Structure 1
Amino acid sequence: MFTGLSAFPLSPVAEESIDEPAFAGLVSRLHLAGVDSIGALGSTGSYAYLSGEQRKRIAELAVDAAEGTPVLVGIGALRTVDVLRHAEDAQNAGASAVLLAPVSYQPLTDDEVYGLYADVTARLSVPLCVYDNPGTTRFTFSDELHGRIAELPNVASVKIPATPEDQGEARARVRNLRRHVPGHVSLGVSGDSAGAGGLLAGCEAWYSVLGGLWPGVCLRITRAAQRGDADEARRLSGLLTPIWTLFGRYGSVRVVAAIADHMGLTGSLNLPRPLRELAGEERTQVEDAVRTVLPAVEN
């Protein structure tokens, strides 16, 4: 399940509750589109803002709505004891795997991060994907640390930040990391504008935000890259440049929330406070981009 397109849907939430029908609908769309896996409770899924009970419920909803498509559930939390509780809830819900970022308030050391993954993997009965997200966690993995963690039991994939835009540099980045990470552990790229480039550089998976909303075009990019059609993968990704630009400007979760509302897939209030939905000129920019991009990528 750690190859191809892993699509990460929004978790639409009101101030006190999950919009369960909307979330189930988002997950069902991904299953019907044929994505390779579904990532619930990633950063786009707002896991850090939700209570344990809400996270447990979302894991249950995701597995049910996925109808057999493998579901990867985020379990990150500040304390190891809470990570273990989220892991147990995800496994009990029927998750095929879990996703773990080294979330922290106090900056973590390499030994503390290694200890986190050692403690968690020792208690797992499903595979784990290491979530390397320095923009959010403020922790930077070295390749050597990735290698140490990849040797732990149940570690099956590493979700890395965006690869460099230059394709030669991207290949070198993936090649250098692969020297430390054993072959049975897949490498997956995140940062959607780098999805095509990361796959073409040698990553086996694309962990995609937009894939959670527009699985069709993201699958086309993934399949083109998998068959070595670099021109087509880059062409399709290039058509999405207005969306990638807005992701960089406003943050992908806000942009995806606005698109989901615009498409009628969720209600207008779908982000946990203090996050705010885009409004005014910002919202107009998103809607203009959707009207420009969708007809192009659907042809």
Structure 2
Amino acid sequence: MAFLSGLSAFPITPTNRDGRVDSVALRRLIARLGIAQVDSIGLLGSTGTYIYLSREQRRRALSETLDQTAGQMPVVVGVGALRTDEAVGLAQDAKALGAAAGLLAAASYTPLTDDEVFDHFSTVARESGLPIVVYDNPGTTHFHFSPPLVSRLAKVAGIVAIKNPTDKSDAIKNHLTAQRRTLPEGFSIGYSGDWNAAEAMIAGADTWYSVLAGILPEVCMTIVTAAQQGDAAEARRINAALVPIWSLFKEFSSLRVVYALAELLDVCSAEPPRPILPLPPAAKRQIAAALKGLPSDASR
């Protein structure tokens, strides 16, 4: 089995207006993930708004999470930064606190070349000693990891996994097959993009890196379990029940929707970091209606 597999749940990071982590709210979110027995927690990903948090607040969020999970499940934590030295420091913090791996994106204001990204990732892996997950997220970074670059990075000691984006669901199987041919055995291949993730897991991906699982982990676990047991029909049936949520993700962005879901489920009341604004009341009513329309076992 790959180092990372199954469902990796990505919660929001509740903060106040000054960017200070709300420890009580974060613990409520993490508790839901523990009850659902997700396979790992993806802390401080894009949904966790890592790029908006100071090094101190990132340490605070990770420390709170690791204290609560007490080694019961791996915690993969975002260590991305604009500067390589800052990313190294964040990865060193994560290793010292006990994170299982670091999630690293090619974040930059200036467009990066493949060689620059390779140097960035290999430096962070080497100097931190923390296992690194390649985070290919072109929707926010505007950098896409080409197959040759992924193959180069997979040969670097300490780079152990990749979190791929998804595009068309019917292209995932071919993408996964091609990537498996070029990557070392045991290198974990996972996908994000929740509305296509059921097909990725059915195709044999190791991991689903899920936004929705950060707030509704149970229903996501049922999809992963069905796919892993070879029951594609059941995985697709459950996924079909989530189409209203996937439509809202596409319309308003998954980040904004999960903040609204956290409030509607009375887990916590938090706003995304400015300049991102909370959704207006009309959008929240749409989300409430979609939530009410989900099967009872999907809305816990």
2:59 to 56, 65, 72: 56
Could you tell me which residue of structure 1 aligns to residue 283 of structure 2?
A: 282
TM-score by length of 1: 0.96
Q: Flag structure 2 segments of 5+ consecutive residues without an equivalent.
A: none
Shift in Å, 1:297? 2.9
Q: For residues 1-21 of structure 1, what are the alpha-carbon distances to aligned partners after superposition, in whole Å with 9 as ceiling and x for unaligned?
A: 510000011101111121110
Pair 1:117-2:121 in alignment: yes
Shift in Å, 1:132? 0.5
Does structure 1 retain, via aligned residues, the 8 Å contact 2:15–2:22? yes
Matches within 5 A, 1:1-299: 1-16=3-18, 17-68=20-71, 69-166=73-170, 169-267=171-269, 269-295=270-296, 297=298
* CA distance in 2: counterparts of 1:257 and 1:113, whole angstroms: 31
Q: For residues 193-236 of structure 1, what are the alpha-carbon distances to aligned partners after superposition, in whole Å with 9 as ceiling and x for unaligned?
A: 11110111221110000111111110010011011100001111
Shift in Å, 1:188? 0.3
* CA distance in 2: counterparts of 1:294 and 1:104, whole angstroms: 41
Q: What SS does the corresponding residue of 1:72 show, helix, strand or coil? A: strand
Q: For residues 75-98 of structure 1, what are the alpha-carbon distances to aligned partners after superposition, in whole Å with 9 as ceiling and x for unaligned?
A: 001000110111111112211111
Paired residue total: 296
Q: Which amino acid aligns with 2:135?
A: Y
Shift in Å, 1:125? 2.7
Q: What SS does the corresponding residue of 1:103 show, helix, strand or coil? A: coil
Percent identical among aligned pairs is 43
* CA distance in 1: counterparts of 2:129 and 2:93, whole angstroms: 12
After the TM superposition, which of the residue ranges 173-182 and 221-230 deviates more from structure 2?
Answer: 173-182
Does structure 1 retain, via aligned residues, the 8 Å contact 2:89–2:128? no
Q: What SS does the corresponding residue of 1:218 show, helix, strand or coil? A: helix
Q: Which amino acid aligns with 1:179?
A: R
* CA distance in 2: counterparts of 1:130 and 1:22, whole angstroms: 28
* CA distance in 1: counterparts of 2:148 and 2:184, whole angstroms: 12
* CA distance in 2: counterparts of 1:118 and 1:37, whole angstroms: 24
Q: For residues 232-272 of structure 1, what are the alpha-carbon distances to aligned partners after superposition, in whole Å with 9 as ceiling and x for unaligned?
A: 011111100011111111111100000001111111x3311
Does structure 2 retain, via aligned residues, the 8 Å contact 1:91–1:126? yes
Shift in Å, 1:294? 4.6
Q: What SS does the corresponding residue of 2:271 show, helix, strand or coil? A: coil
Q: What SS does the corresponding residue of 1:130 show, helix, strand or coil? A: strand
Shift in Å, 1:296? 6.2
* CA distance in 2: counterparts of 1:213 and 1:236, whole angstroms: 17
* CA distance in 2: counterparts of 1:183 and 1:48, whole angstroms: 32
Q: Flag structure 1 segments of 5+ consecutive residues without an equivalent.
A: none
* CA distance in 1: counterparts of 2:297 and 2:158, whole angstroms: 41
Q: Which amino acid aligns with 1:19?
A: D
Shift in Å, 1:163? 4.8
Shift in Å, 1:274? 0.8
